[in-house]
Amino acid sequence: MTPTALIADDEPLLREILEARLAAVWPELQIVAQARNGRQALELFEQHRPTICFLDVHMPGLSGVDVARQIGKQAHLVFVTAFDQYALEAFQHGVLDYVVKPVTAARLSETVERLKARLQQAQPAVHTEALLAQLAERLKLDSKPETLRWVRASVGASLRMIPVDDIDYLKSDSKYTLVAYRDEGQLAEALIRMPLKDLLAQLDPQQFAQVHRSVVVNLRSIRRVTRGDNETADIELKGRSERLPVSRSYLQLFKEM
């Protein structure tokens, strides 16, 4: 019997990436449905009854763990998560499988081999309600707003997922925001349509700070701050020649100067 699968993730691009990676490592697997949230995942599960469910842990409304508890033992489950702690705990119990975002072909291949083995041996889906309940409780404890982990940007004819850790600074550019980042160590830039103020609201304030009306900098990228005239300053970045202005309004960030 042809194995079937459902993919549930609130990020369309990540659903597409996972589907493409699965097609490459398991061409016989038929993706019968894709869901954008937990409730839709349950509806589509009832419609299609897939063999396997790939569930994003964090989804609007019902989380992937909530969905898993309602599916029970009716399907094999694979959690898709950006948070190792959830996945590792489940995996270490030897019950639930997982892949970490962004999904790599190598890690997905390992998961696929385990799933194939279970299906070939006609092993039933094995879940423990106690473990799922424990994971659900942890999700509630960690339900504080998540910070942005990557930025989607058009680079030429392709769409890139830029990890925020690779961003050196962001600069407002009329209707767009310039993203200055490092692509495998090489300096790179991209334009995105999201306004700078909207991006700033989603970034970790411990890592990114606004230093000028039009500039947000990754604090880890700063090499040196030099005081200028009239209560201003300039930021020198690691490995970059451009300097970023610090206006008087934001100089208190470097008040120890």
Dist. CA 229–CA 94, nearest whole Å: 62
Cis status of the peptide bond prior to 102, with omega within 30 of 0: yes
Tokens of 88: 């590792």
Would you call 145 exposed, middle or buried from its count of C-beta atoms within 10 A (0-12, 13-18, 19+)? exposed
Same domain membership, residue 187 and residue 110: no
- Report the number of distinct structural domains present in the chain: 2
pLDDT of 142 over the 60 cut: no
Of all residues in the chain, what percent carry a pLDDT higher than 90?
Answer: 40
Same domain membership, residue 163 and residue 57: no
Same domain membership, residue 198 and residue 122: no
Q: What is the pLDDT of residues 208-244, one digit of tens each?
A: 999 999 999 999 999 999 988 888 899 999 999 999 9
Residue 51 near residue 75 (C-beta atoms within 8 A):
yes
Q: What is the pLDDT of residues 174-199, one digit of tens each?
A: 778 999 999 888 999 988 888 888 88
Select, from the ranges 64-68, 96-100, 221-225, the one with the highest average predicted confidence (pLDDT).
Answer: 221-225
Alpha helices by DSSP H, 26-102 = 38-48, 64-71, 84-92
Same domain membership, residue 33 and residue 112: yes
Dist. CA 28–CA 221, nearest whole Å: 45
